[in-house]
Amino acid sequence: MLTEKILSGDIKAAARLMREIDDGVPGTHHELKRLFAQTGGAHIIGVTGAPGTGKSTLIDSMIHLLRQEGKSVGIIAIDPTSPLSGGAILGDRVRMQRHAEDKDVFIKSIATRGHLGGLSRSAFGIVTVLDAMGKDVILVETVGVGQDEVDVIRLAHTTIVIVTAEMGDGIQAIKSGVLEIADIFAVNKADEMGSDITLNKIKTMLSMRQPRKDAWNPPVVQTIATRGQGVDELLRQAQEHLIFLKTQGLDHYRKQKALTELTTHFKQILVERALSVLELKKEWQTMVDSITKGEIDPRSAAEELVSEILKN
């Protein structure tokens, strides 16, 4: 059984289960059900930001420091979906090459496969596997498509939002999006012109908030990922945030994560079973043909199909 092998440290078994989770192989939920009881020990850190901000390079530096501290690390790198294979465009070891052979570092690239919000439908399951494996820290890098990448806040304990000097003029315009989910800001490429301006704009934005007295105040850390500069402070702040969560109690985070996972699985199971019933009764194909011929619009067709299912 894969569960026992994974809990005993079998990396190949873990890789196999992750692949099956990502491919949607039936029955993987039985393995995840057994692993779930062994989770809760990892610090899950989400890393998000626009393309070109240096997410992968920064994560590479974070891994290096975490390994110097003797911590085992799991990485989920979420990539755009290949239009040909349906898999991740970038392979597991294209990035973060120097850690690929480290037995205490597990890197997994997965594709979004049409899932919005910067994550993948399989991200929660793969995090469960890495957590059950005993990883001390799990780093989740979102795909990097823009300001609507907010799902990571429901998966991670700590969310790091990376910005650069190039974003300085756009901070105000996009603050209602991805910037508002940050537990920590990393102003990367701090050696570039305009970095200080971006730093000050973020601090000004934060000062205009009116947080509760017991709320976490997001720190702003300047980093130069290519040199590893500022990364130790970034990790220190991430650890401080985890300590803060523990002192406040992790109930809110756990409820949010539970709600997200429950909703995700509920939708998936509901759609799968509904389609199975409709395909058996041939109503699905009939509606597809009717839409194709212009006899009915897609919304009305969907309403009729839902009504048919609810009658059963």
User: Alpha-carbon distance 77 to 123, whole Å?
Assistant: 10
pLDDT of residue 181: 82
Express each pLDDT in 59-94 by its tens digit. Answer: 999 999 999 999 999 999 887 544 444 444 444 445
Between residues 123 and 16, the one the model is more confident about: 16
Express each pLDDT in 262-280 by its tens digit. Answer: 887 788 788 878 878 777 7
Contacts of 27-33 with C-beta under 8 Å, sequence gap 24+, read 28/125, 29/265, 31/1, 31/2, 31/3, 32/125, 32/128, 32/129
How far does CA 191 lie from the centroid of its chain? 28
Domain boundaries, the chain: 2-249, 260-311
Measuring CA to CA, how many Å separate 293 from each of 107, 119, 174, 296, 301?
A: 47, 36, 42, 8, 13
Q: Which of 136, 106, 153, 128 is nearest to 41 (CA)?
A: 136
Check whether 187 has a pLDDT greater than 90.
yes
Which residue matches tokens 């009729």?
304
pLDDT of residue 248: 81
Between residues 277 and 54, the one the model is more confident about: 54
Express each pLDDT in 92-141 by its tens digit. Answer: 445 566 777 788 999 988 876 544 444 567 888 999 999 999 999 999 99
User: Alpha-carbon distance 167 to 165, whole Å?
Assistant: 5
pLDDT of residue 147: 45
Measuring CA to CA, how many Å separate 98 from each of 64, 102, 233?
A: 9, 8, 22
pLDDT of residue 279: 74
pLDDT of residue 82: 45
User: Alpha-carbon distance 69 to 55, whole Å?
Assistant: 21
Check whether 48 has a pLDDT greater than 90.
no
- Domain topology for 2-249: Rossmann fold (3.40.50)
Confidence band of 169 (pLDDT split at 50, 70, 90): low
Q: With pLDDT > 90 as the criterion, what percentage of the chain qualifies?
A: 35
pLDDT of residue 268: 76
Tokens in use for 310? 């609810």
Averaged pLDDT of the chain: 82
HSE on the CB side for 45, CA within 13 Å? 30
One-letter amino acid at 229 equals: Q
pLDDT of residue 179: 64
Confidence band of 167 (pLDDT split at 50, 70, 90): low
One-letter amino acid at 21 equals: I
Q: Is the dihedral of CA 25, 266, 153, 83 positive or negative?
A: positive
Helix axis angle, 11-23 relative to 28-36, nearest 10°? 130
Q: Which of 178, 158, 204 is nearest to 62 (CA)?
A: 158
HSE on the CB side for 276, CA within 13 Å? 6
Contact (CB, 8 A) for 161 and 49? yes
Measuring CA to CA, how many Å separate 203 from each of 164, 207, 233, 295?
A: 14, 6, 17, 56
pLDDT of residue 224: 95
Express each pLDDT in 34-46 by its tens digit. Answer: 998 899 899 999 9
Between residues 15 and 261, the one the model is more confident about: 15
